[in-house]
Structures are given as C-alpha cells and as structure tokens.
Structure 1
C-alpha cells in the first residue's frame, strides 16, 4: 500500500473535500487572467467522490454510492416535497415581486414549458450541472461520512460552510451575488434534512436540485432589477425555510439515525 493510499484511507473526507475544490477551482486563475472561459466546474464533487472511493473502498464504495443515488422508495410525500418545495418558494417570491414591488406579472401561457421540461430532464444526466455534478459528492458521499462522527446539525453546518465556500469563484467573477453564499449555507441545511428524512436518499437531493433550478427569472419574463429582486426574495425565503426545518423538526438534527451507516472514517 502506497503512502498516498494509506493516508487517503485514514482521511477520506479531507481527501474528498480537497480534491473537490481542486477539480472545481483549477480554472479560476486562468479565468482571472482572461485565458479560460469559466472560473469553475460543477463536476468537482462527483469526480472527487469517484476518485476517493476508487482509492479507499473500491466496489463496495461504489455500490453504497449507487444505492444512495437510486434510493427511490421514500413515500410519495417526500417525492412531493422534493419537487414542490422549490417551486413553492419560487411561487411565493414571484407573488411578492409582483404584488409588493409591482414587477410585471409573468405570462405563464407564453412560458416555453417544453424547453423548461427539456432543461430539467438534461439536468438529471449532465455532470457539468449542479444536480449530478454536486449531489453524488456532497449528499451521497460526504454527508453520511460526516454524520459518522457528528450530529446531523453539526454535519450540516460543516457541509454548508464548505459548499458555500466552494461557490466563491462564481462570486468573484460576478456570476453569483455575494448574498448567494449565505443562501447556499442555509439551503444546505434543507438538503441535509431532506436526505436524512428519506433514509439517506441522495436521489431526493438530485430531484430537489433539479426542481430548484428548473425555472429561472428569465423564463418567467423578469429582467433587470425585477430579476435581481426575485433572486433576493428567493434567497431570503430559503433562509426562512432552513430556519423552519431546523427549529420545527428538532428530532431530525439530534442523531444520525435516519442515515444508513458506512464504514468508520477519520477526517
């Protein structure tokens, strides 16, 4: 066993997070120098999980990852939550944008729903997009291992801070408002709650992520300040939702009993 392999097996999570950041951020300095088209690749977490599993757990690790990503028997209620909660948050934000700030009401008949559906379908298989690029890493690999040593709340706080930091290149390049970082931290807690309440189903995280980004401001006809305001409203509502799931469902945050345990690991 090489020294690198031995170290990785002792420090699986450290290796995973380090590799996830490296694989996602490597283009950032080249983008800043004007010689790369993007500062950021969303596929870093999934690639990091695949590499670390190959070094540490092999086939057993891949079977565990696949099981979490295909765990669909969670009850129709949780399927509804995964699909409808992001749409409900968007609907409330749109309603506030229109009724309080006099933004133009969306013409739902003019929305290209076929394009929205196609975009959502592609997100289920595109590793360069968030749902497949992130969820196998953050929620299928890192979360259950964090919860081997930490309570769900502490694990969610750690994961939320790291995932928010991971988005930093998007902020420095102007692709994400700085407000997006605390929102990312907050919504990570919602992801943790959903995954734990569905018995460790990372599939629900993928569905949730697809639904969350399926309909953007432009698709609803918002532009300029109205689109920016919709982003602020949506982000604020996600912070409220995160506060709600933490305070209203305290039992879910005290122990990792909702998560199938994996092998003992060190960070």
Structure 2
C-alpha cells in the first residue's frame, strides 16, 4: 500500500494520533507569531508612512518576519510538547518517499492553473504575455524556485501553518472549515506586507489575495495528508505557487490587469470544491466497520 493510498481519505490529524492541540496552545502560538512578525515589519511601515529611507534593506526585514511562523512553531513545540514532538515535527519535512505523481502535482499543478487562467484572459481580449521560451528568464526559473523555497515563504512558514496550526484546527473543526479558518489566519498575518512597497503583496488587491488563500489552504491540506503529512511536499507546493505567479506574469502589475489573478482565484476555487466533494464521497463510501 502506498502512502497516498493510505492517506487518500484526508483524515483529520487528530484522528491519526496527533495531539498537538493538547500540548501546544494555539492562542499562544498565534499571538507570538503575529506579534513578532508584525514587530519586525513595523520599521518598514513607519518608514513608508514618514517617507524615510532605512539603512537596512527592506528585504532583510521582510525575510526575517517571514520566518517567524516556523521559528515560533519549533520553539513552542519544544517548550510545550518536548523534544520528541519537536523531532517529529522536523521529521515531517523529511517525508519524501511519495508517489512521483504528487511531486508533479505540487510543482506543475499551480502552473497549469495559471496558464489556463492566462489563456482565458487572452481569449477575453487581454494582452498576450511576453513569454520567451529560451530566454534568460526561463533559464533561471529553477534557481528562483530554490530561492523562493528557502527564503520566499515556504521554509519560513510551513512548520507553523501546516505543522502546528492545521492539526490544532482539525481537532476542533471539520473539513473544509479547518482549512478555511487557517486561510483567514494566513491572510491576516500577511496584512502589514500590503502596506510595504518592497513586498510581493504590495501590488496585489487584498481581497483577491484573501479569496485565493482560502482555497489554496484546502488544496494544501489535501496534498499534505495525501502525501503522508509531508511538509516537504507542502513547501514545494507553496514555492511553486509563489514562483510560477511571477514567471507567468499573473500579478496585476506584471499583467497590466487584475483579470489573470481573478481567473486564477476562480479556477482555484473550482479545484478546491472538487477536492472537497471528492473527499466527502470517499468518506461516505467508507465501511462503518
């Protein structure tokens, strides 16, 4: 039996013996994570408001703040649950023996959705992006992917969002509400970045970002559990979303229109709803004994 066969039903984490919600106080985790990240980003907000120039590059503050979810998750897990739970949390980033199909889905899937959205944008009269098949921009996609994975969000966030917060929410709420609530938390955590001109979020409409984050959380939860709770695959998925959105010029600033991003939001919701419906059908067909 493969990992994805065993986990395909996407059972809540607490039903598989995870007791993170018992050992790790979710409220404490969120308060510390939000407080430290927002405090790190505060100088940038003040500088933006007062039109000041800081001696330290903005990217340093943004990157440090983006690592808060994972760093706090690792510390609080050790502090409240102990070394064994900490090693288990770290070990989820080393779960790699997964069907290759899941790797393809995690890395290529977001690109397919974005290309479909861009195709719809073009059919509706939008400008064709300047995609150069063998240009320098494409040659460095792999390098960009690695950089995004390491310092662009996935590594700095996923030990927290999927490693700590998701199991705690799954112990309290049924799918897909657990993922939707996480989507709201994730969105609000990013809020200060929308007021910082050097951040990737600055050029995005907040409401579109929020509407995209919630279905993404549903899909990430699905990928996470179907891969045997692999934080590695979640990080790859997260990195793919961030990388391909830039390469394929999905953002309003690069596309010259909000329509490509709007179509990505709609398509992502469609895929997420299909996952939710599929999961309910699998659950309803499961034998009672």
TM-score (norm 1): 0.80
- Of 84-93 and 215-224, deviating more is 215-224
2:18: which partner in 1?
none
Give the Cα separation in 2 of the matches to 1:87 and 1:117: 14
1:191 to 220, 235, 241: 220
Matched, 1:148 2:148: no
Which of 113, 127, 130 aligns to 1:89? It is: 113
Deviation at 1:21, TM superposition (A): 0.9
- Quick check: 1:25 aligned with 2:50? no
* Count of residues paired in the alignment: 245
Partner of 2:76: 52
Contact 2:115 2:248 in 1 (8 A): no
Change (3 A) 1:152 1:218: closer
- Quote how far apart the aligned CAs of 1:227 are: 5.2
Query: Please, which moves more after superposition, 28-37 or 137-146?
Result: 28-37
Match of 1:77 in 2: 101
* Deviation readout 1:218-256 (Å, 9 max, x if unpaired): 6659865535432222223222222221223225789xx
* Residue-by-residue CA offset, 1:21-73 (whole Å, 9 max, x unaligned): 11221144433321663785211211110220221123212211122111112
**TM-score, normalised with respect to structure 2:** 0.74
Structure 2 unmatched runs, 5+: 1-20, 197-201, 285-289
Aligned to 1:115: 140
**Residue 224 to residue 114, structure 1, CA distance change in 2 (3 Å):** closer
Distance 1:121 1:32, change over 3 A: closer
The separation in 1 between residues aligned to 2:283 and 2:167, in whole angstroms, is 13
Q: Over aligned residue pairs, what C-alpha RMSD do you find?
A: 2.8
> How much has 1:88 moved relative to structure 2?
0.8
